[in-house]
Structure 1
Amino acid sequence: MSGMQARDIKTAEDARRIVEERGLSHVKVGMFDIDGVMLGKYMQARKFFSALEEGFAFCDVVLGWDSKDELYDNVQFTGWHTGYPDAPLRVVPESCRELPSEGDGMLLFLADFAGPAGDICPRGLLKRVLERGREMGYDAFGSLEYEFFLFQETPESVREKGFRNLRPLTPDMMGYSMLRSSVHSELYHELLALSETMDFPIEGLHTETGPGVLEAALAVDDALAAGDKGALFKTFTKVWAQRRGLMATFMAKWSPDYPGQSGHIHLSLRERDSGRSAFFEADKPYRMSDAQRHFVAGQQQLMPEFLALFAPTINSYTRLIPGFWAPTDATWGVENRTTALRVIPGSDASQRVEYRLGSADANPYLALAAAIGAGLYGIEHRLEPDEPVKGNAYELEHPDHQALPATLWEAAQRLKASEAARALFGDAFVEHFAATREWEERQFRKHITDWELDRYFEII
């Protein structure tokens, strides 16, 4: 397409010009809620131009309801007691993306909440954590890896089936299969092309172990851009699949028969003044600088307190069990995929740490904010990590302080009681997010599972 390109947009004036140049009557504007669900609307061009200058308003109920549009009854920020007023938002011009599925040059822009809602906004939280890092002299970089299952199903068919006997895209355990990726190459090529067009480029795409499961590794970028890429990837992978009569799920675990779906995070810091890696030091053990050692220590120490941000659903905790490639304690190791934190020795360009705890259902902005925030806290307080784990972390006894909460309720209590969380994220966010996780657990407790019926109906 000739003329201005979406990813070249940097300012409000650029955004106005590209919309005018394309003769668009409307654009799409979206934001991400507490659960990482993308919400938004079509906005008339004239209204959009006004929003670029002055912001726009959106009902704050989108921060006050759950993933089923049910209203939280236990949050202070918004509710019947406030009357669900409008909250201000600011368009982010530089987030401009092509929407290839909608044709005619249609554009998508992201928006951030401002004012008191900005204290709750997940993207805003990540921005605040990154600003803290900049004040300490660091720029943070990240990349996200997601596992997701594809099914030969539709939103209607999965409900008609009661989410049972679902048909995966392909059968059997076929990790890294060249057979599968070649037979279904058109699908792979479509997803790869979409990732380039919408600027969440996929660095690697392959089958994982399980029927119809893929893993996509997104390219590294500065951490805020990495959050945008992760959140847009999850949303528009689902859109892409459904437009082709398929469904993609990012549940942490959809079946007890297969490993859960991870959302691993690769992180590094660079020194703002020198541009060098803050993690790489050639003559230190594992090439880990003091800063990286303190960063890992902060992540390790705060992992039990921050778990709700990485494992935010009831379903998340079905993944965190031994033997299924998911960490069960706040451990770290060097090139060890059985630990929660995997230090990857490398060069100035590649020395990093992989936060392996997160599941695919986590909100990318919150997971990045928590993983980076914990590391910065470790640097600030010069924390020291425990000894690195050598061998299979699942088979070793770990100290009590490394134990992770076993339920979402317990994780919410640990977050609420965390002084570090309040220092990093603010009281308003901690209170709000913890309350939403308590709500999620209370909603679950109202239901009777198939397991309970099978277990107790006749015999007890």
Structure 2
Amino acid sequence: MLNPRDVKSIEDAKAIVEERGLTHVKVGVFDNDGIMRGKYMSKAKFFSSLENGFAFCDVVLGWDSKDQLYDNVSYTGWHTGFPDAPVRVLPESCREIPFEDGMLLFMGEFEGPAESLCPRGTLRKVVDKAKELGFDAFAALEYEFFMFNETPKSIREKGYKDLEPITPDWFGYSMLRNSVHAELYQQILAMSETMDFPIEGLHTETGPGVLEAAITVDSAVNAADKGALFKTFMKVLAQRNDMMATFMAKWSADYPGQSGHIHISLRNSDGSGSSFYDPSQKHNISKIQRHFLAGQQRLMPEFLCMIAPTVNSYTRLIPGFWAPTDATWGVENRTTALRVIPGSEKSQRVEYRLGSADANPYLALAAALAAGIYGIMQEWEPEAQIKGNAYDQCHPEELALPRTLWDAAQRLKSSEAARTMFGDPFVEHYAASREWEEREFRKHISDWEMNRYFEII
């Protein structure tokens, strides 16, 4: 019997479906916002799609997270009639869904003109650029997320207020909490093994009902696959337990935001080892790692909307809540946006701490990796290392991060580096989608405005 993760070819994919006697399988693609869009597909249709691809309405690249249609993009829209876009099935993406009786899931990737906008395709493009320079990219993603004793129905009935976290109070790294809720933790760990996004560490973070999961390192595209699937199926698992998980950057002004930190390293494609590790240098930082770090630092303001993609993302980027506010770097310093982690030949890396949990894993990793690769290409040097509390220090103006999603979108549009690394079609389309997101936000009146202005002004 074939193991789902041993499926590598079209023939393997057909064989495992036949072995399991499945009449249908699940197929899915990821959209701009990192949301998995998919469907059940009959065996006959799936076998045909393995050979020839299949068509998926390109509206999934033309609407937002609430299925509202962009009115400011050229790729698709009412003016094109929302035609189908070709999608190739990725046989090697095969996973078993543990709670669906042997059901298999396969991921897809857009082809043709849509490939230039496809999040997974965008990351693959950056990985290919790294390969051309002689580097293999590796990454590990870690996510903080809050869990609630709520359902999709109850949160709407409550108007998203007075929500009940699964545990009260602040209690990070709690052995008490993970023992009381051992069955839930075991479900999470078992699912992560079955679906091949194995968790290296799972613990409570500081805040009511918040957990942190660190996913095991893998090659860059595989790491993004693991992160995207983890976010999707963690929400599924929670709802199957009459709970809800949220990956919002910040759901309450009273608690810290939720991060999506990205650990990145490069290895030499010729097999000669780490590109980042040089024991003759201070903190083992090689010349390549120094240039990579400089690129990440210099381009962070320009690529920010790929890392912080929602209006809500910017409520997290404030001093004192474990989220960086400037493009700073330090060695083992968690107050900076970039944390160099000195280690062995195998563990020397950079942690991109700016990342938030609401980011699309493919695009966040593409941005963090592309910035570093561009820095290597330009042989840039980083600014001075930050020691101590980065929040208490003054930084060069060019290191300041945009404060709103709109401003971040403008920086991406005007970025020569972004157009070089991601291509003009992606930059234009993605920046427009972030402008749309900000415009949708501006249509609404907040509770804060009502409370502040209704009677008194």
TM-score range, shorter chain: over 0.9
Alignment of 1:244-263 (within 5 A): 244-263=241-260
Equivalent residue number for residue 360 of structure 1: 357
Say yes or no: does 1:412 pair with 2:405.
Answer: no
Shift of 1:275: 3.7
Equivalent residue number for residue 82 of structure 2: 84
Say yes or no: does 1:429 pair with 2:426.
Answer: yes
Equivalent residue number for residue 277 of structure 2: 280
Equivalent residue number for residue 62 of structure 2: 64
TM-score, normalized by length of structure 2? 1.00
Equivalent residue number for residue 218 of structure 1: 215
Shift of 1:459: 1.4
Alignment of 1:32-111 (within 5 A): 32-103=30-101, 105-111=102-108
- Once residues 5 and 182 of structure 1 are traced to their aligned partners in structure 2, the CA distance between those partners, rounded to angstroms, is 31
Amino acid at match of 2:442: R
- Once residues 285 and 401 of structure 1 are traced to their aligned partners in structure 2, the CA distance between those partners, rounded to angstroms, is 26
Equivalent residue number for residue 450 of structure 1: 447
Say yes or no: does 1:388 pair with 2:385.
Answer: yes
TM-score, normalized by length of structure 1? 0.99
Amino acid at match of 1:138: F
Q: 1:338 aligns with which of 332, 335, 338?
A: 335
Say yes or no: does 1:229 pair with 2:230.
Answer: no
Say yes or no: does 1:299 pair with 2:306.
Answer: no
2:173 counterpart SS class: coil
Query: Which stretches of structure 1, 4 residues or longer, exceed 4 Å deviation after superposition?
Result: none
Equivalent residue number for residue 156 of structure 1: 153
- Once residues 184 and 357 of structure 1 are traced to their aligned partners in structure 2, the CA distance between those partners, rounded to angstroms, is 30
Amino acid at match of 1:241: A
Q: 2:196 aligns with which of 178, 194, 199?
A: 199
The CA deviation string for residues 202-223 of structure 1, in whole angstroms up to 9 with x for no partner, is 0000000000000000000000
- Once residues 101 and 248 of structure 1 are traced to their aligned partners in structure 2, the CA distance between those partners, rounded to angstroms, is 18
- Once residues 405 and 449 of structure 2 are traced to their aligned partners in structure 1, the CA distance between those partners, rounded to angstroms, is 19
- Once residues 183 and 297 of structure 1 are traced to their aligned partners in structure 2, the CA distance between those partners, rounded to angstroms, is 45
Shift of 1:142: 0.2
2:258 counterpart SS class: coil
1:94 counterpart SS class: strand
Alpha-carbon spacing, 1:16–1:423, altered in 2? closer, same or farther (3 Å): same
Amino acid at match of 2:65: S
- Once residues 456 and 392 of structure 2 are traced to their aligned partners in structure 1, the CA distance between those partners, rounded to angstroms, is 35
The CA deviation string for residues 178-235 of structure 1, in whole angstroms up to 9 with x for no partner, is 1101111110011000000000000000000000000000000000000000000000
Equivalent residue number for residue 23 of structure 2: 25
Equivalent residue number for residue 347 of structure 2: 350
Amino acid at match of 2:419: R
- Once residues 457 and 395 of structure 1 are traced to their aligned partners in structure 2, the CA distance between those partners, rounded to angstroms, is 37
The CA deviation string for residues 41-92 of structure 1, in whole angstroms up to 9 with x for no partner, is 0000010000000000010000000000000000000000000000000000
- Once residues 89 and 275 of structure 1 are traced to their aligned partners in structure 2, the CA distance between those partners, rounded to angstroms, is 36
- Once residues 202 and 285 of structure 1 are traced to their aligned partners in structure 2, the CA distance between those partners, rounded to angstroms, is 32
The CA deviation string for residues 1-23 of structure 1, in whole angstroms up to 9 with x for no partner, is xx101000001111011111111
Unpaired runs of at least 5, structure 2: none
Q: 2:287 aligns with which of 277, 285, 290?
A: 290
- Once residues 274 and 92 of structure 1 are traced to their aligned partners in structure 2, the CA distance between those partners, rounded to angstroms, is 27
Equivalent residue number for residue 142 of structure 2: 145
- Once residues 427 and 101 of structure 1 are traced to their aligned partners in structure 2, the CA distance between those partners, rounded to angstroms, is 41
Shift of 1:455: 1.2
Shift of 1:458: 1.4
Amino acid at match of 1:18: I
1:100 counterpart SS class: coil
Shift of 1:446: 0.5
Amino acid at match of 1:31: V
Amino acid at match of 2:61: L
The CA deviation string for residues 374-414 of structure 1, in whole angstroms up to 9 with x for no partner, is 00000011000000100000110111000000000000000
- Once residues 216 and 445 of structure 1 are traced to their aligned partners in structure 2, the CA distance between those partners, rounded to angstroms, is 33
What number of residue pairs does the alignment pair up?
457
1:438 counterpart SS class: helix
Shift of 1:274: 2.7
Amino acid at match of 1:137: G
1:148 counterpart SS class: strand
Amino acid at match of 1:414: R
- Once residues 396 and 373 of structure 2 are traced to their aligned partners in structure 1, the CA distance between those partners, rounded to angstroms, is 24
Say yes or no: does 1:312 pair with 2:309.
Answer: yes
- Once residues 247 and 292 of structure 1 are traced to their aligned partners in structure 2, the CA distance between those partners, rounded to angstroms, is 40
1:256 counterpart SS class: coil
The CA deviation string for residues 416-448 of structure 1, in whole angstroms up to 9 with x for no partner, is 000000000000000000000000000000000
Amino acid at match of 1:402: L
- Once residues 373 and 132 of structure 2 are traced to their aligned partners in structure 1, the CA distance between those partners, rounded to angstroms, is 11
Amino acid at match of 2:398: H
Worse-superposed segment, 403-412 or 272-281: 272-281
- Once residues 101 and 71 of structure 1 are traced to their aligned partners in structure 2, the CA distance between those partners, rounded to angstroms, is 33
Amino acid at match of 1:72: Y
- Once residues 271 and 64 of structure 2 are traced to their aligned partners in structure 1, the CA distance between those partners, rounded to angstroms, is 44
Q: 1:8 aligns with which of 6, 9, 14?
A: 6
Equivalent residue number for residue 329 of structure 1: 326
Say yes or no: does 1:438 pair with 2:440.
Answer: no
Amino acid at match of 2:193: E
- Once residues 112 and 157 of structure 2 are traced to their aligned partners in structure 1, the CA distance between those partners, rounded to angstroms, is 43
Say yes or no: does 1:113 pair with 2:126.
Answer: no
Amino acid at match of 1:8: D
2:280 counterpart SS class: coil
Alignment of 1:164-179 (within 5 A): 164-179=161-176
What RMSD in Å do the two structures reach over aligned CA positions? Answer: 0.5
